[in-house]
Amino acid sequence: MSSVAIEQLQVLLVEPSSAQHLIIESYLRQLRVEHIHWVQDAQQALDYLQQQQPDLLISAMHLPDMTGTDLLQALRNGQQHADTPFMLISSETDYRYLEPIRQAGAIAILPKPFELEQLRTGLYSTLDYFDPGNLNTRTIAYDDLNVLLVDDSGLSRRHLANILRSMGIENITEAENGQQAFELVLGNYYDLIVTDLNMPEMDGKELVEQVRQNSQQASVPILMVSSEQDQSRLAVVQQAGVSAICDKPFEPKNIKQLIERMLD
């Protein structure tokens, strides 16, 4: 559990609707969030970020001047707020809008309307992002772990790498696709592989098959972190020999627990 308290969170809420703002703020205050700054469009949010460093940015999808997806991309492409946790609250279900947010490392995606417990989970995910705690494994010291991180999205790799480092993992090698990753596996030893599913050159399923069948590290734990919703595709991936599958967006504590379980 994070040593940071919910009461300490500084939240920037980007919501064009006054009514929705009041609903979301009411829920936040029920969960003991005290510090909430509300703006109604993305430019106001970006202006605020020039002066302040919030712990969490909560945004609607459809803003007067851009989408929540565009706002998140602006954050991730900057320097000062590139790693600020981002939560989307929206009734949007279109894959074209939501997939870039999943790939960019959103802390949570909540529907409208949402339940109080869904918001609570998102807030605790934010706390865990800051401090998920060091890995607790019986078989290997966390700071000795060699991890291969595979994802064609640079934003997704950075988000995952930040979480792994917050757990005490420092030795992280990155690859942009399965083919590049498999070449690294042939020449290096890894204690853990964390990979996406949908990638060019060689996807995550093919990478798992190559590692399991054509490498000297056939038993290495492989964690797949993917936004894939097709259960039949995920079932095929499981049959290929993946050790565990985690959804995007994910709770940092779930990643930590899965890694501990695989390594032990």
pLDDT, mean of residues 226-248: 87
Which of 130, 155, 188 terminates a domain? The answer is 130
Q: Is residue 108 part of a domain?
A: yes
Q: Is residue 136 part of a domain?
A: no
Which of 79, 110, 130 terminates a domain? The answer is 130
Based on the fold, state whether residues 182 and 118 are members of the same structural domain. Answer: no
How do residues 166-187 score in pLDDT, each as one tens digit?
A: 888 999 999 999 999 999 999 9
Based on the fold, state whether residues 149 and 202 are members of the same structural domain. Answer: yes
Q: State residue 255's pLDDT score.
A: 87
Q: Is residue 247 part of a domain?
A: yes
Task: For residue 226, name the pLDDT band (cuts at 50, 70, 90).
Answer: confident
156 vs 210, which has greater pLDDT?
A: 210
Find the CATH number of the domain harbouring 232. 3.40.50.2300
Domain region containing 19: 6-130
Q: Is residue 1 part of a domain?
A: no
- Is the distance from CB of 75 to CB of 83 less than 8 angstroms? no
How do residues 38-65 score in pLDDT, each as one tens digit?
A: 999 999 999 999 999 999 999 999 999 9
Domain total for the chain?
Answer: 2
